Amino acid sequence: MNTQNLVSIIMPMYNAAAFVAQAIESVLAQRYSEWELLIIDDGSTDASASIAETYVGKDVRIRLFRNPHPVKMPSAPRNMGLSMAKGRYIAFLDSDDLWLPEKLAQQIPLLHDPQVAIVYSNYEKMTESGEKTGRVIKAPRQTTYKELLKGNVIGNLTGIYDREKVGIVPILNIHHEDYAMWLSILKQGFIARNTGTVTARYRLRDTSVSTNKLKAIAWQWSIYRKTEHISIVKSAGYFVCYAFKALMKTL
């Protein structure tokens, strides 16, 4: 296996029996074939693991692991996947979301730019049953650390980073853990670039931890003050930008 071109895809899984097959199939459909899929079962009590096992037997690029100490937070299974990742490139896909076939093929070439450590894309939202909502989340063509502090524009299901440039970035056991990870990478002086295309589909579910707006506000402030250690004055400035962007999304 040529790890220089390999993409390690980390998929946390918890009680996703209704969706995980579709998520895995979307990886198998990638036009870019140099990948490994690390599925981390975080204590599922449904048929998720047995469904994933059927794919392990069909494709050697797919591996299934079980978190011995499930905590029902994304950080633990993602960090477990990171510890076993063999690839140069690191990407994440939750077990209820989907990638479109051109995702990796469109993203990898952009990572060849020495200034670019992260590539991301636009994505669509779908209903829990998989129907299109017609809503596309569009992000700017590129972003920097300071711009990202004004609000997270990198959909985690679309992001991919080059660990040869930035090393393995541990996932913090906090809310907005993906946002903190992207900030940590860009803080090193790199930029993130958008393919400008839709490469993924995000499934809307009532159980999503990101659906509570009031909690999201508190988590955003915590990122500024506790994770990034930004002064209260500068944090307030970034927070105003964040709040304005959030308001514009509702209009």
For 129-148, write each residue's pLDDT tens digit.
999 999 999 999 999 999 99
- Spatial separation of the C-alpha atoms in residues 51 and 85, rounded to whole Å: 22
Which distant-in-sequence residues (6+ apart) come within 8 Å of 56 by Cβ?
Answer: 62, 63, 64
Of the ranges 12-16, 43-47, 73-77, 138-142, which one carries the lowest mean pLDDT score? 73-77
What is the per-residue pLDDT across 8-25, written as a single tens digit (0 to 9) for each?
999 999 999 999 999 999
Per the DSSP assignment, residues forming a β-bridge with 190 are none
pLDDT, residue 211, reads 54
Q: What is the CATH number of domain 7-211?
A: 3.90.550.10
- Spatial separation of the C-alpha atoms in residues 28 and 39, rounded to whole Å: 13
Whole-prediction pTM value? 0.94
What is the per-residue pLDDT across 83-135, written as a single tens digit (0 to 9) for each?
999 999 999 999 999 999 999 999 999 999 999 999 999 999 999 999 999 99
Whether the CB-CB separation of 22 and 95 falls below 8 Å is answered with no
Strands (E), 88-190: 89-92, 98-99, 116-126, 132-137, 142-143, 160-162
